[in-house]
Structure 1
Amino acid sequence: MKFIDETTIIVQSGDGGRGCVSFRRERFVPKGGPDGGDGGKGGDVLLKAAPNKRTLYHLQFKKEYKAPSGGHGQGSQRSGRGGEDLIIPVPVGTAIFDAETGDLLYDLVDPDRTVVVARGGRGGQGNAKFKSATHRTPRFAQPGEAGQRLTLKLELKSIADVGIIGLPNAGKSTLISAISSARPKIADYPFTTLTPNLGVVASHQGEPFVVADIPGLIEGAHEGAGLGIRFLRHVERTSMLVHMIDASTLTPDDPLKSYRMVNHELAMYSDALARKPQLVVLNKIDLAGTDQLADPFCQALPGSKILRISAATHKGLDALKQHIRRQLDALDETQ
Structure 2
Amino acid sequence: MASSNFIDYVKINVKSGSGGAGSLHFRREKHVEKGGPDGGDGGRGGHVILKGSSQLWTLLHLKYTKHIKAFDGKGGEGGRRTGAIGKDITLEVPLGTVARDAETGEQLFEITEDGQEIILLKGGRGGLGNDHFKSATNQTPQHAQRGEAGLESWVILELKVLADVGLVGFPNAGKSTLLAAVSAAKPEIADYPFTTLVPNLGVVAYRDYKSFVMADIPGIIEGASQGKGLGLRFLRHIERNSILLFLVPATSEDVNAEYETLLNELTIYNPSLLDKNRILAISKTDILSEEERNDLAKTIPAGIPHLFISSVTQEGIEQLKDRIWNAINNPLSA
Band of TM-score, shorter chain: 0.5 to 0.7
What's the CA shift for 1:264? Answer: 2.1
What's the CA shift for 1:120? Answer: 0.6
CA RMSD of aligned residues (A): 4.1
Deviations 1:246-280 (A, max 9, x none): 3xx5xxxxxxxx16x21221122215979xxxxxx
CA shift in 2, pair 1:107/1:266, >3 Å: same
Structure 2 partner of 1:48: 51
What's the CA shift for 1:109? Answer: 2.7
1:99 aligns with 2:102: yes
TM-score (norm 1): 0.58
Give the percent of matched residue pairs that are identical in Structure 1 and Structure 2: 38
Stretches of structure 1 lacking an aligned partner (at least 5 in a row):
202-209, 229-243, 250-257, 275-335
1:224 to 266, 271, 280: 280
Structure 1 contact 97–153 (Cα < 8 Å) conserved: yes
Aligned 1:93-172 pairs, distance under 5 A = 93-158=96-161, 172=177
SS at match of 1:43: coil
CA shift in 2, pair 1:4/1:117, >3 Å: same
SS at match of 2:282: coil
1:212 aligns with 2:216: yes
Structure 2 partner of 1:73: 76
What's the CA shift for 1:56? Answer: 0.7
Aligned 1:1-335 pairs, distance under 5 A = 1-158=4-161, 172=177, 186-187=191-192, 198=198, 212=216, 223-226=279-282, 245-246=311-312, 249=313, 258=314, 261-270=316-325
Structure 2 partner of 1:310: none
What's the CA shift for 1:4? Answer: 1.0
Q: Which amino acid aligns with 1:14?
A: G
Deviations 1:54-111 (A, max 9, x none): 0110101111111111110001111101112211111111111100111111122333
Structure 1 partner of 2:260: none
Q: Distance in 2 between matches of 1:23 and 1:62?
A: 44
What's the CA shift for 1:197? Answer: 5.4
Q: Which amino acid aligns with 1:224?
A: L
Structure 2 contact 163–215 (Cα < 8 Å) conserved: yes
Stretches of structure 2 lacking an aligned partner (at least 5 in a row):
181-185, 202-213, 218-244, 251-276, 284-299, 301-309, 330-334
How many residues are treated as equivalent by the alignment? 232
Q: Distance in 2 between matches of 1:37 and 1:169?
A: 67
TM-score (norm 2): 0.58
Q: Distance in 1 between matches of 2:58 and 2:127?
A: 40
Q: Which amino acid aligns with 2:146?
A: P
What's the CA shift for 1:113? Answer: 2.2
Structure 1 partner of 2:232: none
CA shift in 2, pair 1:134/1:266, >3 Å: same
Structure 1 partner of 2:268: none
SS at match of 1:31: coil
What's the CA shift for 1:212? Answer: 2.8
Structure 1 contact 164–172 (Cα < 8 Å) conserved: no
Q: Distance in 1 between matches of 2:144 and 2:179?
A: 68
What's the CA shift for 1:155? Answer: 0.9
What's the CA shift for 1:185? Answer: 7.5
Structure 1 contact 39–72 (Cα < 8 Å) conserved: yes
CA shift in 2, pair 1:186/1:218, >3 Å: closer
SS at match of 1:7: strand
CA shift in 2, pair 1:66/1:139, >3 Å: same
